[in-house]
Amino acid sequence: MRNICMIVSYDGSAYNGFQSQPNSNTIQDKIEEALCTLTGETIKITASGRTDAGVHARGQVINFHTESRIPIDRWCMALNSRLPDDIIVTDAREVSETFHARRSAIRKTYRYSIRCGRYKDVFRRHLEYHHYGSLDVEAMRLALSYLVGEHDFTSFCSVHTTAKTNVRTIYNASISTNEQYIGNMKSTQLFIDITGNGFLYNMVRIIVGTLIEVGEGKRVPDDMRRILESRDRTQAGPTAMAHGLMLWEVLYEE
């Protein structure tokens, strides 16, 4: 059996998330259908993690086992011609038998994109959360800094979690900005990048929902530390909308 690993990029707008569900339209279903058409096998893929409905991925990683003898450099093109145009495989390689897209991952980066300004960008409306007013980016940066390190992230986890432990390590959390004009009104894009060894259910979206309240001045940066320590989901802000979120990159031990 060959074990094949792929990098997949998708626009999640049209899907009910990554993971297969009965009678549902998911990214996993589309990839497995394309693999079945290509190889004639019934293949079950494993991803680095699920993404929710509406969430995108620049570099989702999957792996699967196959008896197919298709040369490794043919897989991307062969699959892309069988996939809908909002899902694309950008890399395929053969990996050792023990490689597992979820269990072997050592760190993951998510990006959440916000556009602050009077007008949304119609061409990126499916990729950015539009916030009408400005946000205090320095306050948000300070708030975000309290999350770096190993912590119990219960406050930033959906109550519907099935995780055994809520302890995770955040290696890096930063916000970069970019100014643009839409019409003659200035707007500011915020890119919130968070890298960790793993993420709980809705974790990035709840962190961002809380950060937005800090940016709006409804909370002070130090609240982030207090919320983290409380280990209580009700202390944090709302879950930010799915469409601003993108699974950016997944790293593995070489």
| 82 forms part of the interface with a second copy (CB under 8 A) | no
Using CB under 8 A, pick the residue from 184, 234, 253, 254 that binds a second copy: 184
- Stretches 2-10, 17-25, 67-75, 229-237: which one binds a second copy (CB under 8 A)? 2-10
| 120 forms part of the interface with a second copy (CB under 8 A) | yes
| 18 forms part of the interface with a second copy (CB under 8 A) | no
- C-beta of residue 211 within 8 angstroms of C-beta of residue 143: yes
Smallest gap from residue 182 Cβ to a second copy (A)? 6
Residue (132 or 222) nearer to a second copy, CB: 132
| 178 forms part of the interface with a second copy (CB under 8 A) | no
| 59 forms part of the interface with a second copy (CB under 8 A) | yes
Residues 6+ apart with CB under 8 A from 177: 137, 188, 189, 190, 191
Smallest gap from residue 247 Cβ to a second copy (A)? 13
DSSP letters for 4-59? EEEEEEE-GGGSS-SS--TT---HHHHHHHHHHHHHSS----EESS---TT-EEEE
| 94 forms part of the interface with a second copy (CB under 8 A) | no
* Total number of residues shown for the chain: 254
| 169 forms part of the interface with a second copy (CB under 8 A) | no
| 71 forms part of the interface with a second copy (CB under 8 A) | no
Residue (147 or 250) nearer to a second copy, CB: 250
| 230 forms part of the interface with a second copy (CB under 8 A) | no
- Stretches 23-31, 118-126, 154-162, 203-211: which one binds a second copy (CB under 8 A)? 118-126
- Annotated catalytic residue: which of 11, 29, 52, 91? 52
Nearest-angstrom CA–CA distance, 115 and 211: 14
Smallest gap from residue 97 Cβ to a second copy (A)? 24
Active site residue 86: no
- C-beta of residue 16 within 8 angstroms of C-beta of residue 53: yes
Smallest gap from residue 179 Cβ to a second copy (A)? 16
Smallest gap from residue 145 Cβ to a second copy (A)? 29
Give the residue numbers annotated as catalytic, written as ranges: 52
**Residues contributing to the site for a second copy (CB under 8 A):** 7, 9-11, 56, 59, 76, 80, 85-88, 90-91, 118-120, 122-123, 125, 127, 182-185
